[in-house]
Amino acid sequence: MIPRHPQILNRNNTVLVAVDLQEPFLRNIHDRERVIKNCTLLIKAALTLSVPVLMTLQYADRMGGLVPEIAELFEDNLPPAYDKLIFSCCGNEDFNQAVAKDGRRQVLLCGVESHICVTQTALDLIHRGHQPHVAVDAVSSRSAECYKLGIDKMTATGVTPCSSEGAVYELLYSATAPEFKAILSLVK
């Protein structure tokens, strides 16, 4: 492997975090289909590349579980979802331990809402010594304005923005990787 810039995602150093993909939040989200499509791409690619996937739920007892479009991606191997009442995912200690497992420092974020839970999580991850990346096309908010404000705040405070497809190719690294054909079928 050639020496790489430290901001390029590396599959051996990355965890994918999908934030609050629940129907009550997605119901009124700006560009819902874009978010679901790109979160699906990221999750499928992560599973293909053996990148750990962490799911969070905001107040699951009241807001429910993952939307079926996301839950079905895991077939019968649905990972545990970290329930939280605090907006930042880092408010759940089990989540923090899962992120820190295996010493992975890069965290790729997708989900909702960009200006609330995703932003607070990203900033708390920086504070904890992680390098968060946000897949800008795999997050959103109820309004385009709040979505943009969330992205602006994250990038202004050190979160690395990326596209879902760009992140997948960074994780893949090379057209010679054994997973190349499987990944190619996901992005087409």
Q: Which active-site residues does the annotation give? A: 20, 84, 117
Q: Where are the alpha helices (DSSP H) in the chain?
A: 23-26, 32-48, 60-63, 68-71, 93-100, 119-127, 144-156, 164-172, 180-187
The total number of residues shown for the chain amounts to 188
Matching residue, tokens 């960074």? 170
CA–CA distance from 29 to each of 1, 103, 117 (Å)?
A: 40, 33, 14
SS3 62: helix
